Amino acid sequence: MHFGMRDEFEYIECSRCGCLQIKEIPANLSSYYPTNYYSYSPAKSGCNYTQTGIRGYKERFIRNRITNYYLNRTSRLGRFLERKSSISGNYTERMNWMRLQRLNLGLTLKSSILDVGCGTGHLLQDLAAHGFSQLMGIDPFIEHDLVYESGVRILKQSLDHVDQQFDFIMLHHSFEHLTDPLSVLQRVYSLLKPKRYCLIRIPLAGSYAWVKYGVNWVALDAPRHLHLHTPHSMKLLSEQAGFELADVVFDGEGFGLIFSEQYLKGIPLVHPNSHFVNPADSPFSKAEIEAFKQMDQRLNATGEADAAGFYLRKN
C-alpha cells in the first residue's frame, strides 16, 4: 500500500513475544525500494558550510552553544540563544531523542556517531547543522559513497565492513528492514565503546494501531519491514546480544493512526490524494489530523503507541 502495488505477503506472529516476521522474504525485494523511495532523496543541510567571515563564525557559534545547552542544560548562554535566536532550529522535533533526562548519554559535539541504514543522510546533515563534527552513516542500498560539505560521510557498505568504534550508534527506522536482527545487534555491540549507548527507533507490533488496523496498519509496510518487534521481544533480543535495555521511550506522532485510517479508505501512502503527498487535498480535516496526534500522545503515555525508541547500553 505504500506505493499502491497491493501485493500480499504472509507474516508469522510469535505466540511468546508478539514479534511479527515475514514468512518468506521476496526474491525481488529490491523492487519494493524504487528510486523515489523517500530515504534516497538528496539530503540537504540547514547550514551554509561555505560561509566564511564574521557571519559564518557567528552562525556556527550560535548553533554550537544551543546544541550544547540542549544536550546538558548547563549553559546560560545556550539557553538564552535557544529562546532568542532565529536559527535555533527545530531541536525539540529533531533531537529530543538525544537528550534523555533519565539517562546520561554523555554526548558532546565531538562524539563519534554512526547512523545505520541512513539512506542519503538526512538526519546526519541535520546533526551537522547543529554542530556535531564526527558523523558517519552506512547504507548498502545507496548508489555510491557520499561526502558532504558538512564533513558527513555516507558509505555504501554494511556493518560487517565498519572497522572503528563509536560513542553512539543509532538505527532510526532501519532495524525492521534487516534480515538478521540478532547478528546486527551483536555487531553493533562490538562497535560501541564501553558504557556507551545504541538507540533503535522502530514501529511496534502489539500496539493499539496493530490491534485496531491489522493488515491496514501503515507501519506493517510489507514486504520492506521484515521484523516488527514488541517491547518484550526487543528486551529478549537486546539481552541476548549482551546489551542492557536501559530505557524505552514511546514516540508516536500520529503517523500510524493517520495513514492506517487512510489505508482503510483505500488510498496508498504515495498517491495524489494522500495526506502524505498533498495535505491540501487530504481526506482528513485539520481537526481530525490534530485528534490523531493527540490520540498518539495519550498512547505514548500508556505505552500503547506504535513507535518507540530503545536505548541499549553496553556495560
Q: What is the pLDDT of residues 127-136, one digit of tens each?
A: 888 889 999 9
- Whether residue 60 is predicted with pLDDT greater than 90 in this model: the reply is no
Q: How far is CA 53 from CA 59, 129, 228, in A?
A: 10, 17, 49
| Cell of residue 228, nine digits | 516488527
Tell me phi and psi for residue 137, to 5 degrees. Answer: -130, 155
Q: Do 193 and 166 form a contact (C-beta atoms < 8 A)?
A: yes
Q: Rounded to an integer, what distance in angstroms lies between the CA atom of residue 239 and that of residue 126?
A: 31
Specify the pLDDT at position 162.
Answer: 96
Mean pLDDT of 29-55: 68
Q: What would the DSSP string read from start to end of 16-53?
A: TT--EEESS--TTGGGGS-TT-GGGSPP--SS-TT--H
Q: Is the pLDDT of residue 76 over 90?
A: no
Q: Indicate the pTM of the whole model.
A: 0.90
H-only helix segments in the chain: 53-72, 76-84, 91-95, 122-129, 181-191, 208-213, 231-240, 255-264, 286-302
* 94 pLDDT above the threshold of 60: no
**How many whole angstroms separate alpha carbon 21 and alpha carbon 10?**
9
**What digits encode the pLDDT tens for the residues 222-276?**
999 999 999 999 999 999 999 999 999 999 999 999 999 999 999 999 999 999 9
**CA–CA distance, 60 with 254 (Å, rounded to integer):** 33
Q: Where are the domains of the chain?
A: 11-26+104-313, 50-103
Confidence of residue 30 (pLDDT cuts 50, 70, 90): confident
Dihedral of alpha carbons 231, 236, 241, 247, sign: positive
Look at residue 116 and give its three-state secondary structure: strand
69 by Cβ neighbours in 10 Å (0-12 / 13-18 / 19+) ranks as buried
Percentage of the chain with pLDDT > 90? Answer: 69
pLDDT of amino acid 51:
56
pLDDT of residue 95: 62
Q: What pLDDT does residue 73 have?
A: 67
Between CA 295 and CA 159 the distance in angstroms is: 37
Q: How far apart are CA 257 and CA 240, in angstroms?
A: 32
- What's the rounded Cα separation, in Å, for the pair 238 and 185? 7
Grouping H, G, I as helix, E, B as strand and the rest as coil, residue 307 is strand
The predicted pLDDT at position 40 comes to 64
Compute CA distances 113 → 63, 133, 191, 194, 204, whole Å.
18, 9, 11, 14, 25
Of 68, 265, 43, nearest to 154 (Cα)?
43
| Dihedral angle computed from the Cα positions of residues 46, 47, 50 and 56, in that order, rounded to the nearest 10 degrees | 150
Does the structural domain 11-26+104-313 have CATH classification 3.40.50.150?
Answer: yes
